[in-house]
């Protein structure tokens, strides 16, 4: 019987030189299912790869070629680089994607030991998930009382909002004006303590825009977000 509180990351290897477009494509590969599918079980103290279903609920599905997955596991290819190049595709709840970091040397482990936690990137993951869930209360719970946000418009300097209430109104209006919109993180990195840069794409159904947020973190919350956009 599965142990409460544990979950697995399930994945599959495809024979093609590039990953298939989605999880369903895995079943069309000519690789036998027993050799194709694997499970990665992550606990607070360890991560283990299983070639048989360990019986835990699957949190996230990964799809990649054997070569790419080996490169990520060994640390030869970083997790952000793999996602950006579409060498690995992730399917599952947005808020669980962060669990993939910390599963191997290229995913945030140091010397094959315990996960190297990055509280700033974890905060960024939770912030993006809250935005995409359109839960403005959850978003504002992740910012400081005196948070500062500079929007991308109007040109050339955007608009500056100060304080949780003002920023919340601006973000709430953005979500209301674009009900089909979604943020996708193309790349993000941090200093592990107080600063982060997030490169994103914002899709709203019939169009999109790409940009960058320069983030300052204080006491585990977003204290400043300066947004810049292409075009």
Last residue within a domain, chosen from 57, 82, 107: 107
164 and 88 belong to one structural domain = no
Residue 185 has pLDDT above 80, yes or no: yes
Q: Averaging pLDDT over each range in 25-34, 64-73, 184-193, 207-216, which range is the top one?
A: 207-216
Residue 88 lies in a domain: yes
Distance, CA of 220 to CA of 212 (rounded, Å)? 21
> 88 and 12: one domain?
yes
CATH of the domain at 160: 3.10.450.50
Last residue of a domain, one of 59, 78, 107: 107
Domain count, the chain: 2
CB-based contacts of 79, cutoff 8 Å, min separation 6: 72, 88, 100, 101, 106, 107, 108
pLDDT tier for residue 50 given thresholds of 50, 70 and 90? confident
Q: Is there a single domain that holds both residue 219 and residue 189? A: yes
Whether the model pTM is above 0.85: no
Please say which residue of 79, 107, 135 terminates a domain. Answer: 107
Number of neighbouring beta carbons within 10 Å of residue 46:
10
Q: Among 38-42, 154-158, 175-179, 207-211, which stretch is predicted with the lowest mean pLDDT?
A: 38-42
- Structural domain that includes position 22: 7-107
Residue 74 maps to a domain = yes
pLDDT digit string, tens, across residues 79-124: 666 776 777 777 766 655 555 554 554 444 344 333 345 889 889 9
Give domain status of residue 114, yes or no: no
Mean pLDDT of 53-61: 75
């Amino acid at each position: 019987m599965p142990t409460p509180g544990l979950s697995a990351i399930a994945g599959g290897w495809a024979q093609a030189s590039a990953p298939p477009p989605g999880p369903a494509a895995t079943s069309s590969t000519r690789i036998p299912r027993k050799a194709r599918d694997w499970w990665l079980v992550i606990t607070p103290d360890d991560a283990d790869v299983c070639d048989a279903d360990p019986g835990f609920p699957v949190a996230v599905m990964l799809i990649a070629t054997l070569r790419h997955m080996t490169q990520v596991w060994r640390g030869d290819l970083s997790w952000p680089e793999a996602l950006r190049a579409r060498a690995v595709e992730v399917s599952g709840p947005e808020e669980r994607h962060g669990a993939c970091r910390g599963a191997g040397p290229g995913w945030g482990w140091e010397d094959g030991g315990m996960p190297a936690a990055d509280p700033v990137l974890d905060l960024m993951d939770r912030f993006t998930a809250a935005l995409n869930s359109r839960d403005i209360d959850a978003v504002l719970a992740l910012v400081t009382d005196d948070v500062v946000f500079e929007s991308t418009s109007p040109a050339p300097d955007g608009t500056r909002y100060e304080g949780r209430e003002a920023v919340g109104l601006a973000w709430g209006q953005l979500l209301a004006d674009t009900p089909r919109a979604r943020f996708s993180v193309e790349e993000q990195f941090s200093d592990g303590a107080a600063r982060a840069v997030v490169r994103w794409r914002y899709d709203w159904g019939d169009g999109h825009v790409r940009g960058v947020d320069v983030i300052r973190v204080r006491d585990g919350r977003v204290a400043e977000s300066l947004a810049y956009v292409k075009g």
